[in-house]
Structure 1
C-alpha cells in the first residue's frame, strides 16, 4: 500500500463520524445511508490529491462530504418521503422518559423535513462550527450563514413541536 493511501485511510478512520452523521442527515434508510457513506468515501479519495493542507483535513472533508451528499440526494430518485412524520411513526407520550438515542432519532426524523441546504446548516451547527466556518464550508457570506442558520433553527423547532418531539 502506498504511503498516501495509508495516510488517507488513517484520516478517514479518524474522522469517519463526520461521514456517518452526514449520511444520517440525508438518507432515512440504513441501506441508503451505507450507500451514501461509500459514495462520500469514494469522492474523498478522488479529491484527496487536490487536498493541499491549506485547511484542516476535517474542514476539507466537511466540504467534500456535504457537496457529495447534496449531489447524491438530488440525483437519488428515492428522495425522502414527504409524508408528515406523525403518519410515519407512533407519537409517544412526551412526558415519558426518553433515552438519548430516542431523542437523537427524533432529531434526525425532524431534520429529514428540512431541505438539503438547511440540513447542511444544521449539521455544521451541531458540529460546533462557527458562523465563519459554516459560511466557508457552504460558500456563502458569514452574515448569510447566520441568517439562514437562525431561520433553519426556527423551522426545525417548529417541526419538532408540530410532531410532538419536544424533549
Structure 2
C-alpha cells in the first residue's frame, strides 16, 4: 500500500476505523491487528468502490466486515494476522485503552450484539438513521427504536458496574 493512498484515503477516516476496531477488540495488540487488516482490505478493494455511496460509508462497511470476520474467527479459535507497528498518527489517536471512562463504555458496548455495536458506534459518530441503515444493511425506520433500546441497555449495564 502506498503512503499516498494511506494519507489521502485512509488517514482522514482513521477515527472511525479506530473506534470500530476498539469496540471489537480487548487488547492493544488485537486492536493493531484489526486496524492494519482494515487498511489492507481498503487498499485491496479500492478498485471495487463504485461511488454509489460515499467513501466514508465504504470505509465503515469494510471496517465492520473485517471486525466481524475476525470476531467470528477468534470465536472459532482461528488465529489472525500478526502486525508490525501502527503509524504514529494512529498510535497518538488510540489512547482509549488508557482512559477508564472510555474503557467502561467500550466494555458495555462489547456486551451488545455485533449488529447493535455497529449501530451505536455509528450513532456516536452522529450518522443519520438513513446512513446507519445503509451501512449496516437495515431499514431506517428500525434504527431509532433500536438506538433507544441500545441506550437503555448500555445505561443499565454501566449503572450496574458503578
Aligned-partner Cα distance in 2 for 1:52–1:78: 33
Deviation at 1:9, TM superposition (A): 4.0
Which SS does the other structure have where 1:133 is aligned? helix
The 5 Å alignment of 1:56-135 reads 56-77=54-75, 101-135=99-133
The structure with more radius of gyration: 1
Q: 2:8 aligns with which of 10, 13, 29?
A: 10
> Relative to 1, partners in 2 of residues 1:16 and 1:42: Cα closer, same or farther, differing over 3 Å?
same
Greater Cα shift, 138-147 or 118-127: 138-147
Q: Do the aligned residues in 1 keep the contact of 2:122 with 2:132 (CA within 8 Å)?
A: yes
Aligned-partner Cα distance in 2 for 1:77–1:140: 25
Q: Which runs of 5+ in 1 are unaligned?
A: 80-99
Which SS does the other structure have where 1:76 is aligned? helix
Aligned-partner Cα distance in 2 for 1:157–1:131: 21
Q: Which runs of 5+ in 2 are unaligned?
A: 78-97
User: How many correspondences in the alignment?
Assistant: 142
Structure having the larger proportion of residues in helix: 2
